[in-house]
């Protein structure tokens, strides 16, 4: 099959690789019908993570089941499915407790930006889509494989409640989905930190009531003014750098939580400040399968539309241009069509 | 008055100092009738915190009001009160949200191991004791100024729920109160980490169902065996060292929380592990005033008795021996009688 592969920093190619095969009887092979590029794909692309030359890349997709292993009973060839980036059996103790990202049989999508991909634990991982859905919903449905549940996980981990004030740090697709999540859960004031006008506009569409374009001490001052000196009831940290994490703890009111979903890179947590101010930290890799049914229902009912996070659509074979566009911040998120 | 003062590492004295005075109209002066030594007093005692020679020390006490400022309306001279170590107005936005440890008018007991002490924000901070209480309850009531609410805060921050499995790290008085808190909240399995037999015995009395005496990798293996390979639903970190924090994250199951109340010393939080395993951290300085009314009710109703954390009682003037006994782990916690 043809797949996106990474060969060195900035060296993304669309090349011929071996087809994925059923390796375990619980696997399924999915023919990808829509894929996209994740902000976290930029870490290896930029050489910030180690690279195995020729490795396939991409973990967000949906598609049609091509083949199932002998033990898969809930799905069959032809089913249209969302593929959560983190695969789980959905039956182990961790899954039953709602932490599918810690599944005892955890797996990951390895070739999401490709013609085919293998899904581990197909029965537990996959969620079927109604085949008669409106094609206009495709972008929204595609976000359910990672970015929307990840933004939702930030909001849940931060303890967003109806009527509360949430600050969202990060105006990438995850941060924007975090705004949408906070609004859907019922936050009354949502302060989006963004200095890019097109992203500010989407943040407003998704429910942001305030935009803070400043950084550092000025950002803190702005949040304090908006919140009458109290700070945020909940902070969604959707970046993963040391500076964004510091800002998160700065703007959080005593007793609140920072929900973090940006893979931390170079972050040193301010443990004494956390202790002294009673500001906690929770989150991590999103348990996509936990949130997926609820989010799918919200999308199908027209109650949320995370689709606008995609501002560039390219044929799959032009994936390298998609990476460049996101790396240079010319695009928020790129949808790829095989 | 006579007060406990610290002059250098290991140099505790009982000396003559100026009487505390009403400085603000919201202050009260309390004549201390029972005091005690906190595990956190050992940090400056051991020279781990900076010392101002001659500084008064001690922040846990109860007593009788001697004098109140002109704006204090809820208390008057003669009232028997518990003095939370952290003083609060109990009316600001943070207090109203239940985070009195982040009060906008926060203050602290400065001379708890002394004949008198000043209380800031007396109306907000203090809680009256029924004067006709059983004198046998005195030790239990004294724990309400810090150690019992601190153990309770660890349990609340860790998200202990009825039926859950809690691990308590630390067999000092706070850890033991953490065991009692977890049991009172309804944890079904409580694993106390302790290698000291007298402390294990109190832990069992307080509700521990299992004792783990091992440390490091062996402690993790022991907890995993007890929990069928799942780990703890909630972890109470009641020490504050890097090793204890590492153990806390090790034994926590994916999606759970570590509640920390030991002042962190040299702790580097494992942010990548926290992210990858979705184990959060919450807690800090306990909002004593928040929990006090409920805990007082539990003590007066005979439903909890944290009193056994005191295993040595000394006259206040022998406070230096009390510090030595706790430093050398000859005593768990020392009660001081003026």
CB nearest B94 (choices: A253, A267, A272): A253
Structural fold of domain B2-146+287-337: Quinone Oxidoreductase; Chain A, domain 1 (3.90.180)
Per-residue pLDDT, B134: 79
Contacts of B280 in chain A (CB under 8 A): 157, 257, 280-283
* Interfacial B residues in 63-92 facing A (CB < 8 Å): none
CB A287 within 8 A of CB B278: yes
Give the integer Cα–Cα distance in Å for B203 and B238. Answer: 14
What's the pLDDT tens digit per position in A97-155?
Answer: 999 999 999 999 999 999 999 999 999 999 999 877 678 999 999 999 999 999 999 99
Q: For residues A283 and A97, is the Cβ–Cβ distance under 8 A?
A: no
Q: Does B307 touch chain A (CB under 8 A)?
A: no
Please list the ranges in chain B whose pLDDT falls under 50.
Answer: none
Nearest to A56 by CA among A134, A108, A126, A128: A108
Rounded to the nearest angstrom, the minimum Cα separation between A136 and chain B is 34
Per-residue pLDDT of chain A (338 residues; tens, 9 = 90+): 999 999 999 999 999 999 999 999 999 999 999 999 999 999 999 999 899 999 999 999 999 999 999 999 999 999 999 999 999 999 999 999 999 999 999 999 999 999 999 999 999 999 999 877 678 999 999 999 999 999 999 999 999 999 999 999 999 999 999 999 999 999 999 999 999 999 999 999 999 999 999 998 999 999 999 999 999 999 999 999 999 999 999 999 999 999 999 999 999 999 999 999 999 999 999 999 999 999 999 999 999 999 999 999 999 999 999 999 999 999 999 999 99
Residue A27 phi/psi, 5-degree rounding, is -80, 160
Kindly state whether A307 is in contact with chain B, defined as any CB-CB distance less than 8 angstroms: no
DSSP, res A3: E
CB-based contact A151:A261 (threshold 8 Å): yes
Token readout for A21 is 């095969």
Contact status, residue B190 vs residue B210, Cβ threshold 8 Å: yes
Which of these, A78, A67, A85, A84, lies nearest to A25 by C-alpha position?
A67
Give the CA count within 13 Å in the CB-facing half-sphere of A66: 16
A260 in reach of chain B (CB within 8 A): yes
Q: What distance in Å separates the CA atoms of residue B116 and residue B1, rounded to the nearest whole number? A: 7
Q: Which of residues 110-149 of A touch B (CB under 8 A)?
A: none
Q: Give the number of other CB atoms < 10 A from CB of residue B148.
A: 32
Residue A154's closest CA among A182, A125, A173? A182
CB of A283 within 8 Å of a chain B CB? The answer is yes
In angstroms, the CA A264 to CA A248 distance is 13
Contact status, residue B204 vs residue B227, Cβ threshold 8 Å: no
Q: Does A98 touch chain B (CB under 8 A)?
A: yes
Kind plus residue range of the DSSP H or E element containing A242: helix A242-251
In the CATH scheme, what is the code of domain A148-283? 3.40.50.720
Find the length of chain A: 338
Domain regions of chain B by residue span: 2-146+287-337, 148-283
Half-sphere exposure for A251 (CA within 13 Å, toward CB): 37
Q: Is there a contact between A281 and B285 if contact means CB atoms under 8 Å apart?
A: no
CA distance B122 to B108: 11
Find the distance separating the first CA and the last CA of chain B, reported in whole Å: 11
ipTM: 0.95
């Amino acid at each position: 099959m043809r797949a996106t592969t990474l060969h060195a920093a900035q060296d993304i190619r669309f090349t011929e690789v071996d087809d994925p095969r059923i390796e375990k009887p619980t696997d399924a092979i999915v023919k990808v019908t829509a894929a996209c590029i994740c902000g976290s794909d930029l870490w290896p692309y930029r050489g910030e993570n180690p690279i195995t030359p020729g490795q396939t890349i991409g973990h967000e997709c949906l598609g049609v089941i091509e083949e199932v292993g002998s033990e898969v009973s809930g799905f069959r060839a032809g089913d249209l499915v969302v593929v959560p980036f983190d695969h789980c059996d959905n039956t182990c103790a961790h899954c039953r407790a709602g932490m599918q990202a810690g599944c005892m049989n955890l797996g990951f999508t390895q070739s999401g930006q490709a013609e085919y991909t293998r899904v581990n634990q197909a029965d537990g991982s996959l969620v079927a889509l109604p085949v008669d859905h409106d094609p206009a919903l495709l972008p929204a449905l595609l976000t359910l494989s990672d970015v929307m549940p990840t933004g939702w996980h930030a909001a849940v981990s931060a303890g967003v409640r109806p009527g509360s004030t949430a600050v969202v740090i990060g105006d990438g697709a995850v941060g924007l989905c975090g705004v949408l999540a906070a609004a859907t859960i019922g936050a009354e004031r949502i302060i989006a930190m963004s200095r890019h006008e097109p992203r500010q506009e989407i943040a407003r569409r998704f429910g942001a009531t305030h935009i803070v374009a400043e950084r550092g001490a000025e950002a803190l001052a702005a949040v304090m003014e908006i919140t009458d000196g109290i700070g945020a009831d909940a902070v969604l940290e959707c970046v993963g750098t040391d500076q964004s994490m510091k800002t998160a703890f700065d703007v959080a009111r005593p007793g609140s939580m920072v929900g973090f979903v940006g893979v931390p890179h170079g972050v040193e947590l301010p443990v004494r400040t956390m202790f002294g101010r009673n500001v906690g930290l929770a989150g991590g890799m999103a348990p996509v399968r936990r949130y997926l049914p609820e989010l799918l229902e919200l999308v199908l009912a027209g109650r949320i539309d995370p689709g606008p996070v995609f501002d560039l659509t390219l044929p799959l074979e032009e994936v390298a241009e998609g990476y460049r566009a996101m790396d240079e911040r010319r695009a928020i998120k790129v949808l790829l069509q095989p």
